[in-house]
Amino acid sequence: MARKLTKVPGTKLRKNLFARARKALVGGVNSPVRAFKSVGGDPVFVEAGSGPFLRAADGRTFVDFCLSWGPLMFGHARREIVEAAKAALERGSTFGAATMAEVELAERIKDAFPSMELVRLTSSGTEADMSALRAARAFTGRDLVIKFAGCYHGHVDSLLVAAGSGATTLGVPDSAGVPKAFAATTVVVPFNDLPAVEAAFKRNKGRVAAIIVEPIPANMGVVFPKDGFLQGLRRIATREKSLLIFDEVITGFRVCYGGAQTLFGVKPDLTVLGKIVGGGLPLAAYGGRKDVMSVVAPEGPAYQAGTLSGNPVAVAAGAATLDLLRTEDPYARMEDLKAYFCEGLRRAAVAAGVPLRIQSFGSMFTPFFLDGEVTDYASALKADKAAYGRYFHGMLKRGVYLPPAQWEAAFVSYAHTHRELDVAIGAAAFAMAEAAEGQSRRLPITRKRSKKRLMKSR
Ligand code: HOZ
């Protein structure tokens, strides 16, 4: 695929694609956020990807910062990953039987995440989250789970309560169709609020099976855990004989090879992985303490299964990705690229006079259209979704594809170079000005204020 930006064609073809899609698929899509409902306009129908680029079915080419929501550390269609998947497919697409390749992938996971003494592979992050909760409930004999408002753990019934990601984007953080009795097993507390966690345990003494948390939330946009927060969760969970579950579907292998738990030095009882561990194919994992995981069938009575669990093609792509992460160690370069791009975005926002707070960790980042810090769901929700929509479309029409939603993380990959970042920064100069248009809170920026804002948003 030619690595150059092409001209934007007319909208007629795009409209036709969406109209046709809506006749066959609910909302025209297979996952709600990609329908562009919160940013408006018609979704992009993708035909192919190469490195940092996406090619749409209507002929447009984009620099991609959505990157399939996180799995693509090396960009699209990295040769070694494609070849590993192809070779596995030649040997057979699925066996529904044990393979040594899945054992080898589990061994790689255990090496990276020493807290995961035993591992189970699944096909999606949702499935892994759901199964981790079941294991926690089976092990503790308790029903309740503490989750944090704005964190997202897949579309598990009981966890679609104050859920971030698409559920927030579409205004359904408490999804319809979840039986009240299921929702009642979830106790929601604000992120970064240890006293609220303590109070939740006090109210529900001896009934909480687990605390589940994204250690660095990315599904309400990127939010940092305050100093001592994750350590505090560990302390409370241990004291209360509850389990601590880290949902590292986004942060695992992303913020460093061993995930957020390695960076923060906090050992969860169970960990959920997804996205990168499958190299862009449908694969996820959960695992943790041997005594806890031993409740899972066939070792124990907590049932969980799947014909495609440990699928050989996905396992091959995952293993190739983890091997590349080991040999190429892309983390420092990706963080530099992210910093360069975010600095460009910040300057564009300052020049346009649009309030912007960029929060980032490693190679993931979220530009929140607001003044001030985002520390939890309540502060994330203050972001100006309409301004994000204008920024999104300003970038899209200039050849840059972003997550089509304010409350998500964007990513850079190892395949991005300064050349693509400069193209995107050039687009941002216009897109930020368009975001500022119609913003009631638009403020005149003096030199002094701009500098202060730049420092503040670091
Ligand atoms: N759950 C994904 C974002 N965190 C969105 C998946 C999709 O719409 O493809």
**pLDDT band at 455; cut points 50, 70, 90:** very low
- The counts of H helices and E strands in the chain are 16, 14
Q: Exposed (0-12), middle (13-18) or buried (19+): which is 455, by Cβ within 10 Å?
A: exposed
The domain segmentation of the chain, as residue ranges, is 11-64+330-453, 79-327
- Do residues 280 and 286 lie in contact, with contact meaning Cβ atoms separated by under 8 Å? no
pLDDT at 421 over 70: yes
| DSSP-derived 3-state class of residue 367 | strand
**pLDDT band at 9; cut points 50, 70, 90:** low
For residue 320, the model assigns a pLDDT of 98
Given 275, 376, 388, 401, which residue is catalytic? 275
Query: Which of 2.40.50.140, 3.30.70.1710, 3.30.450.20, 3.90.1150.10 is the CATH number of 11-64+330-453?
Result: 3.90.1150.10
Ligand 1 pocket, residue 30 CB under 6 Å: no
For residue 169, the model assigns a pLDDT of 82
**pLDDT band at 448; cut points 50, 70, 90:** very low
Radius of gyration in angstroms for the set of CA atoms belonging to the chain, rounded to a whole number: 22
Q: What CATH fold (topology level) applies to the domain 79-327?
A: Aspartate Aminotransferase; domain 2 (3.40.640)
Find the 72 Cα to ligand 1 centroid distance in Å: 14
Beta strands 46-50 and 53-56 are antiparallel
Does the reported pTM lie above 0.75?
yes
Ligand 1 pocket, residue 34 CB under 6 Å: yes
Ligand 1 atom closest to the Cα of residue 405 is 3
Average pLDDT on 6-20 reads: 73
Ligand 1 atom closest to the Cα of residue 152 is 4
Find the 298 Cα to ligand 1 centroid distance in Å: 32
Q: Is 401 a catalytic residue?
A: no
Find the 452 Cα to ligand 1 centroid distance in Å: 34
Tens digits of per-residue pLDDT, 240-274? 999 999 999 999 999 999 999 999 999 999 999 99
Of 253, 241, 217, 226, nearest to 366 by C-alpha is: 217
> Ligand 1 test: best mutation among 39, 67, 165, most atoms within 8 Å of CB?
165
For 67, the enclosing helix (H) or strand (E) is none
Find the 127 Cα to ligand 1 centroid distance in Å: 14
Side chain identity at 144, as an amino acid letter?
L
Find the 455 Cα to ligand 1 centroid distance in Å: 31
Beta strands 208-213 and 270-273 are unpaired
Of 368, 383, 393, 363, nearest to 456 by C-alpha is: 368
What percent of the chain lies above the pLDDT cut of 90? 88
Find the 128 Cα to ligand 1 centroid distance in Å: 16
pLDDT at 11 over 90: no
Ligand 1 atom closest to the Cα of residue 219 is 4
**pLDDT band at 21; cut points 50, 70, 90:** very high
> Ligand 1 test: best mutation among 30, 31, 222, 406, most atoms within 8 Å of CB?
31
**pLDDT band at 370; cut points 50, 70, 90:** very high
Tokens 């005594």 identify what position? 291
Ligand 1 atom closest to the Cα of residue 33 is 8
Average pLDDT on 344-363 reads: 98
Ligand 1 atom closest to the Cα of residue 34 is 8
Ligand 1 pocket, residue 168 CB under 6 Å: no
pLDDT at 153 over 80: yes
CA nearest ligand 1 atom 4, residue? 165
**pLDDT band at 3; cut points 50, 70, 90:** very low
Average pLDDT on 329-340 reads: 98
Q: Exposed (0-12), middle (13-18) or buried (19+): which is 290, by Cβ within 10 Å?
A: exposed
Side chain identity at 191, as an amino acid letter?
F
Ligand 1 pocket, residue 407 CB under 6 Å: no
pLDDT at 171 over 90: no
For 401, the enclosing helix (H) or strand (E) is strand 400-401
For residue 284, the model assigns a pLDDT of 98
Q: Is 152 a catalytic residue?
A: yes
Side chain identity at 204, as an amino acid letter?
N
Find the 373 Cα to ligand 1 centroid distance in Å: 24
User: Is the model more confident about 175 or about 216?
Assistant: 216
Given 58, 64, 129, 247, which residue is catalytic? 247
15-19, 86-90, 403-407, 414-418 — which is least confidently predicted?
A: 15-19
Average pLDDT on 168-188 reads: 90
CA nearest ligand 1 atom 7, residue? 31
Side chain identity at 223, as an amino acid letter?
V
For residue 5, the model assigns a pLDDT of 42
Average pLDDT on 134-152 reads: 97
Rounded CA separation 278/285 (Å)? 9
| DSSP-derived 3-state class of residue 16 | helix
Average pLDDT on 382-401 reads: 97
3-state helix, strand, coil in the chain (%, to 5): 45, 15, 40
Six-digit token string for 165: 């990601």
Ligand 1 atom closest to the Cα of residue 165 is 4
DSSP annotation string for 80-135: HHHHHHHHHHHT-S--SS--HHHHHHHHHHHHH-TT-SEEEEESSHHHHHHHHHHH
22-36, 171-185, 366-380, 432-446 — which is least confidently predicted?
A: 432-446
Given 37, 129, 147, 152, which residue is catalytic? 152
Q: Is 247 a catalytic residue?
A: yes
Is the C-alpha dihedral spanning 233, 237, 238, 244 positive or negative? negative
Find the 126 Cα to ligand 1 centroid distance in Å: 11
